[in-house]
Amino acid sequence: MSTLRTLRVLTSTAKNRPALPDPADQVALYQAMVRLRAADEVLAAMAARGRIQWHQSIRGREAVIAGLAHGLMHDDWLFTGAQVPDGGGLDFTCGRSLHHVGTSSPGGARVVHAMGVGWAARLRGDPQVSAVLFGETAANQDHFHVALNFAGVFKTAALFVCCSDGSLVQTSGGSIAARAVAYGMDGVRVDGTDACAVLHGIRKAAQTAREGGGSCLIEALVPEEGEDPILLLRDHLQSADLWSEEEETTLMADVADSAEEQARKATVPAAGNKPQVFEPTGAPGA
Amino acid sequence: MAEMNIIQAVNDAMKIAMSADPDVVILGEDVGQFGGVFRATAGLHEAFGSDRVIDTPLAEGGIIGAAIGMALYGMRPVPEIQFIDFIYPGFDQIVNELAKFRYRTGGGFTCPVTIRTPFGGGIRGGHYHSQSPEAYFTHTPGLKVVVPSNPYDAKGLLLASIRDDDPVIFLEPKRVYRAARGEVPEGEDYEVPIGSAAVVREGTDCTLLSYGAMLHTSLAAAEVAAERGIAVEVIDLRTLVPLDIKTLAASTWKTGRCVIAVEAPRTCSFASEVAALIQEKCFLALEAPIHRVTGYDTPFPHTLEDTYLPDANRIVAAISETMNY
C-alpha cells in the first residue's frame, strides 16, 4: 500500500503543513464553492423534474473544482466531464478566464487530449498549462496509461487531477497518486474536501509544469461520508475573522438570484431544425 | 516537373505544408530520425527538428489523442499510423472524439488533424499489414476520407487535407507507393480539392469505379476489356467522404452499366455504399445489376494474398457479366 501522505491545510495541525493561501484567495474559494453547490442543486432539481435531460451532481467535490480552477492562471486549459454546450451546465472554471473543454463524456479519452494540449504548449514555448479532472474509474482506462506515459516521456505541461472517494474498489494499488513514480512525474495526494489543500497542490504543480518541470498526478480524496468542504472553509473563515454574517447574507442573496438565471440557461432549448443537425458536422445533409 | 513516386510526393507535400505553416507538426512511430518505415518522412526531421517531427511511443491511442489536444490548442498535427492495421488502439479517439469535437462543442472547437496511414495488401504482410478498413471511417460522420492513387493527387490531396479544418483520414495505397510514378511539380504548392473524383479513362459501355491501388488494377482490366471491344470508363473516386456522386452518376447515366472494384471484404464495404447510391441516382439508366468486385469476407490471408485480392481477370469477368446481362 502507498506510503503517500495526504496533504491537508485546514484540517492539519502538523507543523510542516503548507501555509494558508492569501485571505483573498480563501474568500474566493469559499464563494466559488457556494456558487457551485447552488448551481448543482438547481441542475439536480431540474433533472429530477425532467426540465433538462441529465445532470451529474458534483456535490461534495466543490473544493476540488474550486481549488483546481483557482490554482490555474489566465489562458490555462481545463478539461472536465460532459456538460451541455452553450453554458447550460456547471461552470467548472468558476468564472475564471480558462479555456474549458467540457464535452468529453467517456472518462478516459480527455486525459489524452489534456496531455496533448500541455504538450503543444511546451512545443510552442508557451507558459500555459493544461489540467484534466477525472474520476478514479477513468484511471482504469488504457487512455490513462497512454496519456501519463506520453506526459512522462515528453515532460508535457499537463496536470492530471483524479477525484477519488478512496475506496478504489476496482482499482489496484491502493492509491492513484502512487502510480506517478512509474511515469517519472510527481504524485500528490490532497484532501479533496479542503479547498486550500487542493489550491496549494494545483498551484505548486502548475508552477513546476510552467517552468518546464513536467506533469503531475494529483489525487484528490473525497470520501463518501467526508467533511462538507463548504462548512469546513466557512468555519475557518469565520474563526479567522475573514468572513462576516453580513457577507454571508449578501452572498446567499446573490446566489439565489443567479440560481434562477442558471435554471433559465439550462432549460432544454427548443427542438433544433434540420440545418442545425447538419451544419456543424460538415455532412452533406439529406 | 519531376518524376516522383507516391512516397516522394507525400514527402514533398509535408515539406511544403511545414515550411508554409509553423503549426504543422508530424508525430508517429519512427517518423523522426528513421524517416518512417516507408520513408515518407525521410529528411523532415533534419529539416524541421525534433519538436516538429516527433518520434512517439508505440501507442496509437496516444498519438491520435495527443494530436487532438494539439489541434485544440491551434496546431495542425499530421499523425502517421505506421500501418492502418495498427489503428484500432486509436479507434475510440478517432470515432468518439476526433470525429465529433466540432459537433459536440457546437462549432467551438475544430480538429484539423490529418491521419496518414498506408492501407491495403500487396506486400505479403499478412493481416497485420494488409487490411482495407476504410468503411469503418466512411461510416463515421465527422471524418473526411481521402485516398489518392497517383503521386500528383497524393501531393495535392495531402496539402488540401492538412489545410482542412476538419479531420481527414488520408489513406495511402502501399502496394503502389513506389510503383505508381508520375510527373509532380516539385516544391510547388498546389491542392487537389477534397470531394472531387477524376475520370481517368473515358468510355461509353461500362463505368468502372475504384480508388487507391485497385485503381491501377481497374485500368489494367479496362485495357483487357478494350481488346474485347468494350469501352470502359474508369473513375478514380479520390475522396470517399465527401463522395463526388455527381461525377459517378453522370458516367453511369452515360454507360448504363456500373462495376465497383475495391480490396476490402465484401460485406458493408464502401463498394456497397456506392452501389446503393448509384442504384438510387441512376435506376432508370441501368441496363444490368451493379457489380461489386471485392476481397472476400475472410481475414486477410498470408499465403493466399493473390487469391484474395481482386485482379484484372476478376474485374474483366464482372464487366463481361454486366455487358452480357
Write down the mean pLDDT value for chain B.
Answer: 97
Half-sphere exposure of A233 (CA within 13 A, CB side): 32
- Asked if B213 contacts B309 with a C-beta cutoff of 8 angstroms, the reply is no
Distance CA B244, CA A156 (A): 42
CB contact under 8 A, B74 and A117: no
Q: How far does the CA of residue B103 sit from the closest CA of chain A (Å)?
A: 5
Q: Cα angle at A52 between A50 and A58, to 5 degrees?
A: 110
What confidence score (pLDDT) does residue A89 get?
A: 78
What confidence score (pLDDT) does residue A285 get?
A: 47
Known active-site residue B302: no
All three cell numbers of A213: 518541470
Stretch B175-180: mean pLDDT, rounded? Answer: 96
Q: How far does the CA of residue B233 sit from the closest CA of chain A (Å)?
A: 26
Identify all chain A residues contacting B103, using CB atoms and an 8 Å cutoff: 280-281
H or E element, residue A45: helix A23-48
Domains of chain B: residue spans and CATH? 2-184 (3.40.50.970), 198-323 (3.40.50.920)
- Lowest average pLDDT, out of A18-27, A188-197, B103-112, B284-293, goes to B103-112
- Lowest average pLDDT, out of A162-166, B80-84, B145-149, goes to A162-166
Cis peptide before A127 (omega within 30 of 0): no
What confidence score (pLDDT) does residue A77 get?
A: 98
What confidence score (pLDDT) does residue A284 get?
A: 53
Q: Show pLDDT as tens, one digit a residue, over chain A (286 residues).
A: 456 889 999 988 888 889 999 999 999 999 999 999 999 999 889 888 888 877 888 999 999 999 999 999 999 999 998 655 444 678 899 999 999 998 766 679 999 999 999 999 999 999 999 999 999 889 999 999 999 999 999 999 999 999 998 887 888 888 899 999 999 999 999 999 999 999 999 999 999 999 999 999 999 999 988 899 999 999 999 999 999 999 999 999 999 888 778 777 776 555 665 555 555 555 554 4
What confidence score (pLDDT) does residue B296 get?
A: 97
Chain B residues near any Cβ of chain A (below 8 Å)? 25, 51-52, 56-57, 59, 61-62, 65-75, 89, 92-93, 96-97, 101-109, 141-142, 144, 166, 242
Identify all chain B residues contacting A280, using CB atoms and an 8 Å cutoff: 102-103, 106-107
- Could you say which of B69, B92, B102 has the minimum Cβ distance to residue A119? B69
Distance CA B59, CA A146 (A): 7
Stretch B38-67: mean pLDDT, rounded? Answer: 98
How many Cβ pairs closer than 8 A exist between chain A and B?
109
Beta strands at B168-173 and B114-119: parallel, antiparallel or unpaired: parallel
CB contact under 8 A, A280 and B141: no
Annotated catalytic residue, options B129, B139, B291, B302: B129
Please give the distance of CA B124 from its chain centroid, rounded to a whole number.
Answer: 20
CB contact under 8 A, A112 and B56: no
CB contact under 8 A, B106 and A101: no
Suggest the residue from B50, B60, B73 to mutate for an interface test with chain A (most A CBs closer than 10 A).
B73
ipTM: 0.94
pLDDT at B295 over 70: yes
Domains of chain A: residue spans and CATH? 21-268 (3.40.50.970)
Distance CA B65, CA A115 (A): 8
H or E element, residue A6: strand A6-7
Residue A107 burial (CB count, 10 A): 19
For B58, nearest residue in chain A (alpha carbons): A146
Q: How far does the CA of residue B288 sit from the closest CA of chain A (Å)?
A: 27
CB contact under 8 A, B62 and A280: no
User: Which residues, numbered 1 to 60 in chain A, qualify as contacts with chain B under a Cβ-Cβ cut-off of 8 Å?
Assistant: none
CB contact under 8 A, B66 and A115: yes
Residue B260, phi then psi, degrees to nearest 5: -120, 130
Identify all chain A residues contacting B62, using CB atoms and an 8 Å cutoff: 112, 115, 146-147, 149-150
CB contact under 8 A, A120 and B70: yes
With 0-12 / 13-18 / 19 or more C-beta atoms within 10 angstroms meaning exposed / middle / buried, residue B170 is buried
What digits encode the pLDDT tens for the residues B254-278?
Answer: 999 999 999 999 999 999 999 999 9
**What proportion of chain B, given as a percentage, has pLDDT over 70?**
100
Q: How far does the CA of residue B242 sit from the closest CA of chain A (Å)?
A: 8
